[in-house]
Amino acid sequence: MNPIRLVVADDQKLIRMALSTLAAGEPDIELVAEAADGKAALTAIRDHSPDVLLLDIRMPIMGGLEVLRHIETDPDATVRVIMMTTFDIDQYVFESLEHGAAGFLTKDTDPEFILHAVRVVAAGESLLSPGVTRRVIDRFTRGRHARTGEPHPGLDSLTARETEILGWVATGLSNDEIAERLVVSPATVRTHVGRAMMKLRARDRAQLVVIAYRSDIDIPE
């Protein structure tokens, strides 16, 4: 199996060195490039075709959110993005998820969890729980950033079961955890999640969470 190709984009040299050293000790992760600003991050993506990008939200020349928007609108981009910041709660986190970020970490996250995040995201999942990302979503979804009451135009195409599953996805639970609560198989949950993503044209689970909250659907407590 080919190693996960990783790019690290952060304007702090010490952070880049730390993340590079962390990745260097893992046989299944290959650091292919570093970038000190957003423009260099986009160049690294074009030149190296990474699987995962660890992207600082606040950088010079071009910030992480702008980088994310470029990636979102590029039909050839396949890189999965994990946003990173120094702060527990950042005003751009929810918007980052809306524009396709697959996860969010603070820079003081345990090194082993950062590696776990890279592997989870590379496998096509979104890092919504446990840990910081779930806490961030919980905080933002209780505030003015989330519930706009503007239903997604594709919601009418969902079945009742798919809408119910969408609500459970928005809690940050995994497929296995949702299956346990609904007393169904994980495969059944995966099928409904996949259909919801297709109908709503969601890039990943993170965007499903955003759609659920933006649309003000019923989300289990």
Residue the block writes with tokens 């407590």: 221
Count of structural domains, the chain: 2
221: in domain: no
Instruction: State how far the Cα of 112 lies from the Cα of 158, in Å rounded to an integer.
Output: 38
Q: What is the pLDDT of residue 144?
A: 45
Same domain, 117 and 188: no
Instruction: For the beta carbon of residue 88, count every other beta carbon within 10 angstroms.
Output: 12
Residue 204 belongs to a domain: yes
Q: Are residues 135 and 35 in the same domain?
A: yes
Residues 35 and 115 in one domain: yes
Q: What is the pLDDT along the chain (221 residues), one digit of tens a residue?
A: 789 999 999 999 999 999 999 998 899 999 999 999 999 999 999 999 999 999 998 899 999 999 999 998 888 888 999 988 876 555 666 777 778 888 878 888 888 889 988 998 888 776 654 444 455 555 555 554 455 557 888 899 999 999 999 999 887 777 888 999 999 998 999 899 989 989 998 877 777 877 887 788 888 87
Distance CA 54, CA 179 (A): 31
Give the list of residues 6+ apart from residue 123 with CB closer than 8 angstroms, or none.
none
Taking the model in full, what pTM does it have? 0.71
Task: Answer yes or no: do 127 and 44 share one domain.
Answer: yes
Q: What's CA 1's distance to the chain center, in Å? A: 23
* Pair (79, 178) in one structural domain: no
DSSP 25-56: T-TTEEEEEEESSHHHHHHHHHHH--SEEEEE
In a domain, 147, yes or no: no
C-alpha span between 135 and 55 (Å, rounded): 19
Coarse DSSP helix, strand, coil percentages of the chain, rounded to the nearest 5 percent: 50, 15, 40
Please indicate, yes or no, whether residues 16 and 99 belong to a single structural domain of this protein: yes
Residue type, 137: I
Q: What pLDDT score was predicted for residue 130?
A: 44
Phi, psi of 56 (to 5 degrees): -70, 140
Any domain includes 134: yes
pLDDT score of 45: 96
Range of the domain at 9: 4-141
Contact 26, 51 (CB under 8 A): no
What CATH number should be reported for the domain holding residue 191?
1.10.10.10
Q: Within this chain, do residues 106 and 200 fall inside the same structural domain, yes or no? A: no
Per-residue pLDDT at 159: 95
How far apart CA 18 and CA 166 sit, in angstroms, is 37
Tell me, yes or no, whether 50 and 106 share the same domain.
yes
Q: Specify whether 126 is located in the same domain as 22.
A: yes
In the DSSP assignment, the letter for residue 209 is H
Cα–Cα distance for residue pair 178/168, rounded to 1 Å:
7
Domain stops at, among 116, 141, 166: 141
Task: Find the CATH number of the domain harbouring 116.
Answer: 3.40.50.2300
Q: Tell me what pLDDT residue 43 has.
A: 96
Judgement on whether residues 174 and 83 belong to the same structural domain of the protein: no
